[in-house]
A and B are shown apart, each in its own frame.
Chain A
Amino acid sequence: MKRVVITGMGAVSPYGRGVDTLLDSLIEGKSAIRRTENHATIRGLRCRVAGLVPHIDPREIPRKYRRSMSNMSIFAALACNEALQQAGLGSEECAGGQMGVAIGSTTGSIQATQEFFENFLNTGGLEQMKSTVFFKIMNHSCAANISKVLGLTGRILSPSAACSTSCQALGYGYEMIAFGRQQYMLCGGADEYHALTAGAFDILNAASINFNEQPHRTPRPFDRDRDGVVCSEGSGIILLESLDSARKRAVPIWGEIIGFSTVSDPKSIANPDADSIELCMRIALKDAGLEPQQIDYINAHATATVQGDLAESAAIYKLFGNKTPVSSLKGHLGHTLAASGSLELCALVGMLDGQYLIPTLNLDNVDESCKHIRHVKLSETKKLQTAIKNNFALGGVNSSLVIRRYQND
């Protein structure tokens, strides 16, 4: 099996473009959550906050490629450009057959779907439909668009597992390289905000609705006053590469993926289960060849739902006890859904590189049901070698990645 390392990262987040912007904002403890102004007319939608990507100019993507992209593909394309640039890779490697793509989203573009049906229902026909609308709606829109704009000729995969999407994309990319099937994999996820996304959580009584006038105070992972998810948008892209290749190219290595697990939780389509989450993390540790006490930090999924935070903290306590530090980045970013795994992994790589821990924002009073684990409530400097990254999705799709700080070993 080949070892798999990270040689490039790219981010488009609610803070703006770039991994540096993401990390700087997280370190500053800035909330990316804002009030959404145009939701008042949607009856039944009580959540009026979101983490939206500030305006970006997408015209660096040629029109011929951009025409089939909704925002999620644009975010992913810009993040891919950043990752490739950092890794020192270009069109030659993209076209060489040894670079694949594993990028997914929760759904295809809901905005494009809305526009399609508005037009279809209003006109009663298809005569005004543009040729590229389907390419924004299809579920593998991001991966397909990225392969075109970059000229990729390797494997193409589009996992779609809601909040586990990019964690799975990374895991599958890791396995493809480990098995020697690809030399490089562009992995991650992307999502674009739509009111119906927040609505999906609101219908389940799982969206934050009590902080519409104070958006920076929500979401509140693990906090006593948490009241649910805040939906956000963006894309995180990680360029995975075989260690042999990275060494041969003599490029900086930002971390090593050493374990992955994804499991199906059959118990409920909506409610997370602590036993399944624990199993997921346990298998990831086994894959990494590590014992629980060898993990220095846990980057939790923790979206600030009552059920999710409780199940994850219970699973963490059962496997790791109360010594291993835990934090969630959702308090800063909100939930970037399919992008959350890869976007948060960018930040986790930053923590490993800088030897510090970013605390959970808005964790003022740890909820009684979550208090048995060791929360990071303030910034800490810490010697970090290994970490585990969790992502769990509606539908019962759990996933965990184990990452190690690279030491030229």
Chain B
Amino acid sequence: MTDQEIIDLINLTLVEEFELNMADMKPEALIFDDLELDSLDIVDMVVVLESAFQFKIREEASIREIRSLRDIHEFVINKKNQLAGS
């Protein structure tokens, strides 16, 4: 997958799960303030991303640092690259 394909899949997954508008899926969008997700949604976000990308990320410490959609994009891209390199 290219980075753009990863980003597109992340956005699509989140739009479907959380009934978001694709137009709002801007990299700078803040997860809590702009996309209006909350702590329960973050639990579900991990579940749907794990399902979409077939990896395990729940125990990753860096996931707690995520604030924006761009952070999610970068987190997933890095994770995919790590797995590809291992």
A interface residues with partner B (beta carbon < 8 Å): 63-64, 67, 127-132
Does B43 lie at the interface of the complex (its beta carbon under 8 Å from any beta carbon of A)?
Answer: yes
Task: Report how far A128 CA is from B48 CA in the complex, Å.
Answer: 8
Q: Smallest Cβ distance from B14 to chain A, in angstroms?
A: 12
Contacts of A128 in B (CB 8 A): 47, 50-51
Contact of B38 with A64 in the complex, beta carbons under 8 Å: yes
B contact residues, total (Cβ < 8 Å): 13
Q: How far is the CB of A334 from chain B (nearest CB, A)?
A: 33
Q: Does B44 contact A (CB under 8 A)?
A: yes
Partner of B40, one of A67, A127, A129: A67
The answer, yes or no, to whether B19 is at the interface (CB within 8 Å) is yes
* Interface residues of B, dominant DSSP: helix
Contact assessment for A132 and B44 in the assembled complex, using a CB-CB cutoff below 8 Å = yes
| A127 / chain B contacts, CB cutoff of 8 Å | 47, 50, 56, 58
The CA-CA distance from A273 to B47 in the complex, in Å, is 50
B residues apposed to A, CB below 8 Å = 18-19, 36, 38, 40-41, 43-44, 47, 50-51, 56, 58
In the bound complex, CA of A132 to CA of B47 (Å):
12
Contacts of A63 in B (CB 8 A): 18-19
User: Given A63-B18, A63-B19, A127-B50: A132 and B40 within 8 A (CB)?
Assistant: yes
The one of B38, B47, B58 that contacts A130, using a Cβ cutoff of 8 Å = B47
A137 shortest CB reach to chain B, Å = 15
Q: What is the CA–CA distance of A101 and B36 in the complex, to the nearest angstrom? A: 28
Residues of A near B58 (CB, < 8 A) are: 127
With both beta carbons as reference points, the residue of chain A lying nearest to B50 in the complex is identified as A127
A64-B38, A67-B40 known; A129 and B18 CB under 8 Å?
no
Q: Which residues of B contact A131 (CB under 8 A)?
A: 40-41, 43-44
- Within 8 Å CB of B36, what residues of A? 64
Count chain A CB atoms within 10 A of each CB in B36, B47, B51, B56 and give the residue with the most. Answer: B47
A132 to B58, CA, bound (A): 17
